Structure 1
Amino acid sequence: MLRLRRRISLLFALTSAVGLVAMAVFAVRSDSARWREQLDHAMEADTSWALGLLETDENGRLATDVLADTVNTGCPPLTVLLVTGDAPGGPGTPDEAVGLTVQHAPTAPCLAVSPGVVLESGRAVARTGEARGFDRRTTDGGPVRVFALPFYAPEAAEDEGPQGVLVTLSDATAQRDDHRRLVWVVTGGCAVLVLLSAAVGHVLSGRAIRPALSALDRQEAFLADAAHDLRTPAASLRTLAETALRGETDSTDVHRRTLRLAEGMGRLVDGLLTRARLMSGTATVARQPLRLDQLVEAVAQEAAEASTEGPRIRVEAEDTVVVADPDLVRRAVGNLLGNALAHGHGPGLPADVLITVVRDGTLTVEDEGPGLPPEVADALFERFRSGSGSTGLGLSIAAWVAHAHGGTLTAGRGERGGARFVLRLPRS
């Protein structure tokens, strides 16, 4: 059970971890794409505005004088690249085959990158003809976002590649730091939530298997005590068989004693099955109005007729109606009476049992035996308790019947010195 609990806790934690990691990865990737898109959008706006400042002279050559005079191209750095005629670019042209020349570059840029970074970005955009952003590093090793925007000649054909590329840079240090903090926060939060889910799973799994553990403990106790009670009649049957084989006793006496032992074992097995059904909940309580006094008188008469030792059974009953299951109440009364007949007398003396029934639904069974010690009376119904000739099941079943009807069963010393059992059943 403990291994099962650990497995359930581990499975709960793993399930939570998978869900949390998936959500964390989605959040981190979304944030990464978001800050890049924001930088690209801002740089696209700058390059699109700067693109309007480019002019063409009377010879068709690109002029950047207006751009240089109007915009401080040092921050953010703006570089104008022209595509050479030998490799005009366009889809299908390898990056390394695209020829580029620097038409304009800032003299004192606020962000310095190697010339290869600018040319590499320009070649990639000239080949595809679409604006793109790139993650690169400055010469100092800091993170920078490079954005390249292609532009076309005024009268360029549809299948003609771009005339040039406008490249700009943006510092990504703040965005990278924010993203890194988010990653740490999400990672730490996931770790805490996984540990919390593991703890919650451990607690929930403990609560889930606690009924199974209790049932297993009751079953083990039940089997141990039942085996103890079955061992005695089984040993007696073996002794009788060995005696009969040696011819040391009369066969009629052996058959009589064997019959009594068989009947006793039958009652024991019946009691075991009844208790198992009661404890498992398969035995239902069919409540109905019941004359308790008449049921007690019938049970007492049957016990007197079945006994060969001449016990004295007295019944003092008032007209009493309770709401209970007749079969279960009959078994409980029979078990209480059988216990009194078995233990409620001295050695060699017949049993003397007094049964009283009053109108409030109280039934009392009192004998003249040795009585019950206080320490035994307090725990008499908690577990099987075997005595001489007793299976230990009768009182346990009687207590369960009382509790199933919302009543009680108590034990103590009677006025005549013997044991007294008081069964209280609700009247409505």
Structure 2
Amino acid sequence: MAGRPERRRRSPARRRLRRLQLRLTAAYTLITALGLSCLCWLVIRTDDRSRQASEYDEMRRRASVAASLVYYEEDRLRLDGLQDDEATTGTPQILVLEAPPGGPHAFVFRGRVSRFDVADATAERVARSAMRADDVVRSTGHDRSGDPVYLLAVPFHHDATDAMAGAAVAVGDPERGSAEHRSLILSLAAGGGALTALAGLTGHVLSGRSMRPAWQALEQQERLLADAAHELRTPVAVMRGSVEVAEGGAGGLGVHLPRIRRAADRMADVVENLLTRGQLDAAVDSVRPTPLRLDQLVEEVCADLPDGGHRLELCLEESVVEADAGLVRVAVRNLLDNAARHGRTPGAPGGADLLVSVLGPSVSVADRGPGVEPGRLPELMERFRSPGGGTGIGLSLVHRVATVHRGSLTVRARPGGGAVFVLRLAPGRSRRRRAGGRGGVRARR
């Protein structure tokens, strides 16, 4: 059981797909980060413009109020309305420039709170621009300490002559609302980072799930190739060695033909097992259940058991199941092959002592070998973990066949010594017991 995670980590297919998954995750995260960055930039830019527009709106309101409070009485400029109005208190700061036609110009009023020390030339430039345009003019500049300021001028006219008489200048603070703006930037940065991380994690999980079929397919292919190389190596070596010995020996090839034939039969079984395993792994029209006489199929498989001095006893009950005949045949043959290999009585000469039974949808194969603990069955069904020289592919395939037929593979101790492997298929229709039965002892050489 411990071998599978290690092999999976070392699988070239999994490593390639893992790198592809990481690339997809990085691409998804990068796209998400770029999208969120653009969105955050737009939000920050919009908030900055909104903050600037809000400050200019407040400056325009205050400057307009200040310009409306300026009036003339007998050609004399009156500013008493500016002294107590809230529009001239605090910031934005209000300055009033009088520039009558043909007369000297001068700043005749400054707000009571002078936060910004703006040079007269700077404020005058904006005021004269507003007077020339006879409209509101806004601009930017710096105070005497070099700090940036907003400037906005609203012109006013002489009450009697309607001539341009001056302008009210509002000085605004570009840093107003900057704390909230910085807080918004930090919130967007934190939220964007969290969303990017969440998107990267989600993309990694989704790409992994979407690539899982590809992982499984590539791993199945690699396992099939590994099984083929492992299983075919022994019979090929036997055939090659027999041919080499026959070429150099005096007896000729005929003496070695039985051994070559057994190796060829073994190779044919291996190829069929591998093809069946590949068919089940692909899961493409792999199971074609039809009504099947399970007892007859088991009897045919037992009749094809190679001679090896085995003692075989059959106890068969008529049984009809819904199953794939080809897959069940392979499963039963693998159970018999496993029992023939490992079912010899310890210390006894000859072949294995086997008892094959069919009862309803179950096929039991009992032997007189050293036995198997029931808890070790999952280990025996692992590839390359079967004791006694086997690979475990046979029992693993039997388990797969049982699973696709909604059945199971179990093992228990046989009374008197040995093990009993039970292949149970999906419940089917059982018929009456054969008259006289086909059971009985059938001796094998």
For the criterion TM > 0.5, the same-fold answer is yes
Match of 1:364, SS?
Answer: strand
2:382 touches 2:393 (CA, 8 Å); kept in 1? no
1:31 corresponds, among 47, 59, 67, to 47
Structure 1 residues 240 and 123: alpha-carbon distance in aligned structure 2, compared to 1, 3 A threshold: farther
Secondary structure at the residue paired with 1:168? strand
Instruction: Give unmatched runs, 5+ long, in structure 2.
Output: 1-14, 429-445
Query: 1:213-232, aligned counterparts within 5 Å?
Result: 223-232=225-234
1:197-276 paired onto structure 2 within 5 Å: 197-199=199-201, 201=203, 223-276=225-278
**Residues 390, 82 of structure 1: CA spacing in aligned structure 2 closer, same or farther, 3 A cutoff?**
same
Residue aligning to 1:110:
113
Maintained 8 Å contact 2:301/2:333: yes
Task: Answer yes or no: is the 8 Å Cα contact 1:74–1:106 preserved in 2.
Answer: no
Structure 1 residue 373: Cα displacement:
6.2
Question: Once the 2 structures are TM-superposed, how far is the Cα of residue 107 of structure 1 from its aligned partner?
Answer: 4.3
Contact (CA 8 Å) 1:370, 1:417: kept in 2 or not?
A: yes
Counterpart-to-counterpart distance in 1, 2:203 and 2:349: 62
Tell me if the contact between 2:97 and 2:124 (Cα under 8 Å) persists in the aligned partners. no
Partner Cα distance (2:65, 2:30) in 1: 52
Matched residues, percent identical? Answer: 35
AA partner of residue 110 (structure 1) = V
TM-score, normalised to structure 2, is: 0.73
Output one character per residue of 1:19-67: Cα deviation in whole Å (capped at 9) or x when no partner.
Answer: 3222221221121111222222232233334444567999xxxx7814x
1:191 aligns with 2:193: yes
Number of equivalenced pairs: 398
CA contact (8 A) 2:150 2:174 kept: yes
- TM-score normalised according to structure 1 size: 0.76
Output the CA distance in 2 between the equivalents of 1:338 and 1:64: 124
Deviations for 1:240-275, whole angstroms, at most 9, x for unmatched residues? 232233244322234443343233223212211221
Deviations 1:157-192 (A, max 9, x none): xxxxx9975431234544223222322332233334
Which residue of 1 is the match for residue 405 of structure 2?
A: 405
Amino acid at match of 1:28: I
The match for 2:153 among 145, 148, 151 is: 148
Answering whether residue 294 of structure 2 is matched by residue 282 of structure 1, we say no
Consecutive unaligned residues of structure 1, counting only runs of 5 or more, are 86-100, 155-161
1:396 is aligned with what amino acid? Answer: S
Q: In structure 2, the residue corresponding to 1:65 is in which secondary structure?
A: strand
Q: Secondary structure at the match of 2:183?
A: helix
Note the C-alpha offset of 1:381: 0.9
Q: 1:127 to 1:342 in 2, by over 3 A?
A: farther
Deviation of the 1:235 alpha carbon:
1.7
Structure 1 residue 392: deviation in Å?
Answer: 3.9
Cα distance change of structure 1 residues 22 and 81 upon mapping to structure 2, 3 Å threshold: farther
Q: How far apart are residue 389 of structure 1 and its match?
A: 8.0
Cross-structure match for 1:70: 81
Corresponding residue for residue 184 of structure 2: 182
Deviates most, 244-253 or 212-221: 212-221
Alpha-carbon distance, 1:365 to partner: 0.8
Aligned counterpart, 1:88: none
379-388 vs 215-224, greater mean Cα deviation? 215-224
Q: Distance in 1 between the 2:280 and 2:100 partners?
A: 93
Provide closer, same or farther for how the CA distance between residues 175 and 386 of structure 1 changes in structure 2, counting only shifts above 3 A.
closer
**Residue 349 of structure 1 pairs with residue 350 of structure 2:** yes
Give the 3-state SS of the residue equivalent to 1:379 in structure 2: helix
Kept in 2: contact 1:356–1:363 (CA 8 A): yes
The equivalent of 1:157 in structure 2 is none
Report the secondary structure of 2:355's partner residue. Answer: strand
Q: After TM superposition, give the deviation of residue 218 of structure 1 in Å.
A: 6.1
Answer whether contact 1:81 1:122 (CA < 8 A) is retained: no
Task: Output the amino acid matched with 2:63.
Answer: T
Q: Given residue 95 of structure 2, which amino acid in structure 1 is its aligned partner?
A: L
C-alpha distance in 1 between matches for 2:182 and 2:76: 39
After TM superposition, the structure 1 stretch with the greater mean CA deviation from structure 2, 254-263 or 213-222, is: 213-222
Map 1:34-45 to 2 at 5 A: 34-45=50-61
Aligned equivalents of 1:16 and 1:4: distance in 2?
18
- d(CA) in 2 for partners of 1:317, 1:378: 28
Does structure 1 retain, via aligned residues, the 8 Å contact 2:315–2:358? Answer: yes
* 1:10 counterpart residue number: 26
Q: Cα distance, 1:421 vs. partner?
A: 0.7
Question: Which position in structure 2 is the counterpart of 1:358?
Answer: 359
**Structure-2 change in CA distance of 1:273 and 1:84 (3 Å):** farther
Q: 2:417 is matched with which residue? A: 417
Secondary structure at the aligned position of 2:415 is classed as coil
**Paired position in structure 1 for 2:443:** none
Could you tell me which residue of structure 1 aligns to residue 336 of structure 2?
Answer: 337
| CA shift for structure 1 position 412 | 3.6
User: Amino acid of the residue matched to residue 234 of structure 1?
Assistant: V
Q: In the alignment, is residue 297 of structure 1 matched against residue 299 of structure 2?
A: yes
